[in-house]
Amino acid sequence: MNSGPDSAAVTSLDIRAVMAALPHRYPMLLVDRVEQLDRDKSIVAIKAVTINEGFFQGHFPGRPIMPGVLIVEALAQAAGVLAVESLGLAGSGKLVYFMAIDGAKFRKPVEPGVLLRLEVEFIQKRATVCKFAGKAYVGDKLAAQADFTAMIADPPAA
């Protein structure tokens, strides 16, 4: 077992560290903090779901529910933090792009006022393509799950 600094578990990352790892910003930044990150293995992140978010105005008036596609995006962003931290990409300018989503299932509506717990683990890790399994929970209830693949690449030319 490697005991070097790259293999150390990070117990948490605040919003500043999340923003350093991801290019996303409001209103598309869907990870508020990282509770646990075990490089090369897994991440547990939190999205605070609030009524102030614009999508609740139309999804759905009188019955606000977080769109499933945004739950999957939140899982993908947590995976992006895991990939950036595990592959040592912070400050490199590299981006993590979605390539595929498989087996997405939505089990429970996500409503305003909850903390959405995002649990993502590596299925396969390579230098340019990674596969992940993600689950989103509200409390101890599974709200959504999906497997997805992402590509590590340079940003598009300006």
CATH number of the structural domain spanning residue 147: 3.10.129.10
Which one from 59, 94, 125, 135 is the annotated catalytic residue? 59
- Report how far residue 76's alpha carbon sits from residue 113's, in angstroms, rounded to the nearest whole number: 21
- Contact between 87 and 126 under an 8 Å Cβ cutoff? The reply is no
**Total Cβ atoms within 10 A of residue 58:** 9
Is 24 an active-site residue?
A: no
pTM: 0.92
Number of domains observed in the structure of the chain: 1
**Predicted local distance difference test score (pLDDT) of residue 3:** 40
**What is the residue-averaged pLDDT of the chain?**
93
In a domain, 39, yes or no: yes
In a domain, 99, yes or no: yes
**pLDDT-based confidence at 8, cuts 50/70/90?**
low
In a domain, 43, yes or no: yes
What is the residue range of 96's domain?
5-153
Share of the chain above pLDDT 70, in %: 94
In a domain, 68, yes or no: yes
In a domain, 97, yes or no: yes
In a domain, 149, yes or no: yes
Sheet-wide strand order for 95-106: 9-10, 33-38, 42-49, 114-125, 129-138, 141-153, 95-106
In a domain, 158, yes or no: no
Note the pLDDT tens digit of each residue in 52-88.
999 999 999 999 999 999 999 999 999 999 999 999 9
**Predicted local distance difference test score (pLDDT) of residue 1:** 34
In a domain, 119, yes or no: yes
